[in-house]
Amino acid sequence: MKATAEVLDGFRRKIARIRRRALARPGRSNVIVIEGVGPLLTEIKRLGASEPETAFQSLLLLLDHLGRIASTIDDDEGLLGDGMQHVLDDVRKLVSREMKADRRRLDAVEAIRSLFRQWVGDQDGLYPDFAETLLSVAVDGGVEFELLELSRQQLLNLPLVFPAFPGLSDDLPRMIWIAERHQVERLVGELLARADRHEYAIIVARDYWRRSGDAIDLVEGLARAGRGKEAVMEARKALASPHVYHRKRLQDLLDELREETGENKDRRTRKTLENEFLSSPCLNSFRALKSAVQEEQWPQVRKRVLGHLHKHQKSPSVLFSLYLEEGELLEADGLVVTQPVDAETLEQGASLIGEIRPDMAAGWLLSAAHRRAGQRRATHYQKVVRNLLQVRDLADSHSQVESLSRAINKFRTRYARRTRLIELMDEAGLV
């Protein structure tokens, strides 16, 4: 135990040094943390071969400290989130390997208890895949009953929360209790579903949908239970609501379910697909509609549904991508000028047509640069410069240097007060 304590103290000191370096350089804090955590993970992996218990405790310590660091620094690029996921993956691999070994040196019951305590303590949801790790460790270690018992005890420690009286909204303590109970109830449902006992997970998911408007768990739970048609019905019902959460993910799930259930492509189905697309426009629902329409009828249907989006200025970025997919470049180009197509979509579109229409692609990239610069976020300035360099490459290769110079001068004048952006443009030679 003394050796373990000394090793853990050493890790604490190393993590503290990483945190101090990160806080000293806010602009690169997430990069500094990731660069510092990499060698620690390598060290822990080596330790796992001879001392799995010490390696496991070290990983838990790293999870705890990374959670604290993540709540204090900027991680717009998601680097720290990816690093935290790596730590969780290493926990899962370590436990799985030890449970399969002839001589087990890691106590699965103690491991699941330690992980459960840390999972309950992650009240900010910094580790979204923590529950999946818990489930995998419980199954690999053969301690599902222990996890159920821990969850039951946790539920007993949480107060029952009844609906608020009519006219009253939930206050903060009630909302926290509701969230904590749902977190544990969802874990129990997932654990039971792995043993083909799906009903509890469906009940929990249905209640959560009523409370929050998030139907993902319900649709996935019904599909997993072999109730595909009911899952399709619930997904459609949720997408019909203007307040649905995770709309794109739910639409993608509905598209998968439709393929699995093999819906008939009759007129009624086509009308349903068209209504679904118009209420929640996305590439997958557009393709599903196209596959359900006779080829000779498609131009008329396409003109109607895309015209509806254009007229009502609905989902311009999706509409732009659909124009490109259907080969309607002039319509896509006109949309860039009149509606707010997002910068990422413009950049993707420019990469598709750069060879055949470099002038049009350059215009889209310039618009993307303006979109990003207009958001007043310094983290986007590198992308702005990248877009302008792409415009310069297109201009150089097609003898449009004069028009590029005018565009760059106008850009610099418009954003002259963004000193950091102008500095980056100078460094890139955009003068």
* Mean pLDDT per 10-residue segment, the chain (431 residues): 75 89 82 87 88 89 84 71 84 86 82 90 78 89 92 88 64 78 92 91 91 89 90 86 81 80 60 86 88 84 92 92 92 91 92 87 90 82 90 78 82 87 88 75
Q: Find out whether 318 and 309 touch, Cβ atoms under 8 Å.
A: yes
Decide if 194 contacts 135 (C-beta within 8 A): yes
- 149 CB contacts (<8 Å, ≥6 apart)? none
Question: For 196, how many CA atoms within 13 A lie in the half-sphere containing its CB?
Answer: 1
**pLDDT at residue number 261:** 64
* Segments making up each domain of the chain, as ranges: 1-160+172-194, 198-263
Q: 């010490």: which residue's tokens?
A: 54
Position 381 scores a pLDDT of: 87
Residue 319's pLDDT is: 94
How much is the pLDDT for 1? Answer: 47
pLDDT of residue 113: 92
Q: Is 169 left (phi over 0), alpha (psi -120 to 50) or beta?
A: beta
Contact between 255 and 284 under an 8 Å Cβ cutoff? The reply is yes
Residue 362's nearest CA partner among 374, 373, 346 is 346
Query: What's the pTM?
Result: 0.59
CB 147 within 8 A of CB 114: no
DSSP designation for 66:
H
Backbone angles phi, psi at 388, to 5 degrees: -65, -35
Predicted pLDDT at 379? 78
Question: Phi, psi (5° rounding) for residue 212?
Answer: -115, -25
Identity (one letter) of the amino acid at 125? G
The pLDDT assigned to 167 comes to: 63
Which residue is it, tokens 């124009």? 323
Q: What is the pLDDT of residue 268?
A: 60
First vs last C-alpha separation in the chain: 64
The pLDDT value given to residue 23: 83
d(C-alpha 422, C-alpha 388), whole Å: 12
